[in-house]
Amino acid sequence: MDGNLFPAWTSTVRDLLPLALGGGGLFVLVVVAFGFSPNTLSVGYSPDQPIPFSHKLHAGEMGMDCRYCHNTVELGAKAAVPPTETCMNCHDRIHTESPVLAPLRESAETGKPIEWNRVHDLPDYAYFNHSAHVTRGVGCVECHGRIDTMNEVRQEKKLSMGWCLDCHRNADDIIRPIDQVTNMTWETDDQAALAAALTAARGRELAPPTNCSGCHR
């Protein structure tokens, strides 16, 4: 016997093992980093809804203001999902026999709310107040994209901490007149001049926080 307990090929395995472990660890790191990023888990997310409500029809073609349905967006942290009664203001006279609106009619008859599926869902440790944004001139389109072109609502933006901070640090790039916050197609020829005028008129009110306590409370 030559004194070796293991065959010669095990030496090759021993030499390759660190490389395999290192490469495997890097692979897992890349997969986790990509798989758990906001781009992967959130952007493009579009859950099925109990009623195929079309924002393209209502907000786009019909020109309904966002605040008719989301009527707390200027007053509180959350943009309320409209109750059945809001929908029935129109649909007790329009498309009253439509099969796709059967859940709406059932909700009106029973008083049981429609269980809509949330599309934009921030983690509990992040504080976001809709009224603090729309009453300062941040348009709905900045966070939600062109809702008025979507038959099925999907998440368009990352909604990550870095994405929010980019906006807070460069608010002059997106600020607009308050009366235009729900106008999806609004544009200006000189954003810099507009931002300067709005900031001069409203001062620190248009200086969003960039410290941790601004969003983590």
What's residue 29's pLDDT? Answer: 62
In a domain, 64, yes or no: no
In a domain, 189, yes or no: yes
Residue range of the domain that includes 77: 71-81+120-214
- pLDDT (tens digit, 0 to 9) for every residue of the chain, 217 residues total? 455 566 766 667 667 677 766 666 665 565 555 555 666 568 999 999 999 999 999 999 999 999 999 999 999 999 999 999 999 999 999 999 999 999 999 999 999 999 999 999 888 899 999 999 999 999 999 999 999 999 999 999 999 999 999 999 999 999 999 999 999 999 999 999 999 999 998 877 788 999 999 999 8
In a domain, 183, yes or no: yes
In a domain, 75, yes or no: yes
In a domain, 31, yes or no: no
Residue 139: what residue type? G
Q: Check if the beta carbon of residue 177 is closer than 8 Å to that of residue 137.
A: yes
Determine the angle formed by the axes of helices 84-91 and 102-110, rounding to 10 degrees.
Answer: 120
Domain count for the chain: 1
In a domain, 51, yes or no: no
In a domain, 165, yes or no: yes
Q: Whose CA is closest to 209, among 144, 129, 124?
A: 129
pTM across the whole model = 0.79
What's residue 58's pLDDT? Answer: 97
In a domain, 113, yes or no: no
